[in-house]
Structure 1
Amino acid sequence: MRFPSRLLASQLFFAGLVWAAFYAVVTLITVGIAVFGTLTNSVWESATQVPRWFALFAGVAMIREFLPLYIAHGQTRRQFGAQAAVTVALYAPALSALLVLGYLLETLLYNVAGWPQELARPHLFASPTDVPLVFLEYLVEFLAWIVAGTFMAAAFYRWQGGGLLSIPLGIGLVVLGEAAIGTELRLPFIRFPLGVVSTPTVLTVLAGGVGCSLLGLAMTWSIIRDVPLRNRLA
Structure 2
Amino acid sequence: MNKSGQHPALKVAGSMWSGYRVTLIWYWSIFVIVYVGINLLLRHLGEVDESMWGGGIWEGSVYSPKIFLLVIGILVTPVSLASYVTFGITRKHFAWGSALLFVGLSFVCTVLTAVGYPIEQLLYQMAGGTGDLKQPPLLEGSMDYFILSVGYCLAGWLIGNGYYGKDWRVGTIICVAALVPIILMEIIADAGTSFALWLEVLMLLVVAGLLLAANLFLLRKVRIRRKLV
Structure 1: runs of 5+ lacking an equivalent: 120-126, 184-194
Matches for 1:175-186 after TM superposition, within 5 Å: 175-181=183-189, 183=190
Q: Whose radius of gyration is greater, 1 or 2?
A: 2
Summarize the Cα distance change of 1:144–1:74 in structure 2 as closer, same or farther, 3 Å threshold.
same
Corresponding residue pairs, total: 213
Contact 1:143 1:209 in 2 (8 A): no
Alignment TM-score, normalising by the size of structure 2: 0.83
Matches for 1:79-228 after TM superposition, within 5 Å: 79-114=93-128, 127-128=135-136, 130-162=137-169, 163-181=171-189, 183=190, 195=191, 198-228=193-223
1:233, 1:153 → 2: CA distance?
A: 12
1:85, distance to aligned residue in structure 2 (A): 2.1
1:76 aligns with 2:84: no
Alignment TM-score, normalising by the size of structure 1: 0.81
1:27 aligns with 2:36: yes
Contact 1:59 1:148 in 2 (8 A): yes
More contact order relative to length (CA 8 Å, sep ≥ 6)? 2
Q: Pick the aligned partner of 1:7 from 8, 11, 16.
A: 16
1:60, 1:210 → 2: CA distance?
A: 21
Instruction: List per-residue Cα deviations over 1:72-106 (Å, max 9, x = no partner).
Output: 22100111122222222222122111111222322
Q: Taking every aligned residue pair, what percent have the same amino acid on both sides?
A: 20
Secondary structure at 1:81 match in 2 = helix
Contact 1:23 1:102 in 2 (8 A): no
- Hey, which of these two has a bigger chunk of helix by percent? 2
Secondary structure at 1:4 match in 2 = helix
Contact 1:59 1:146 in 2 (8 A): yes
The residue identity in structure 2 corresponding to 1:8 is W
Matches for 1:39-78 after TM superposition, within 5 Å: 39=50, 40-41=52-53, 42-78=56-92
Stretch deviating more after TM superposition (33-42 or 172-181) = 33-42
Structure 2: runs of 5+ lacking an equivalent: 2-10
1:178, distance to aligned residue in structure 2 (A): 1.1
Secondary structure at 2:12 match in 1 = coil
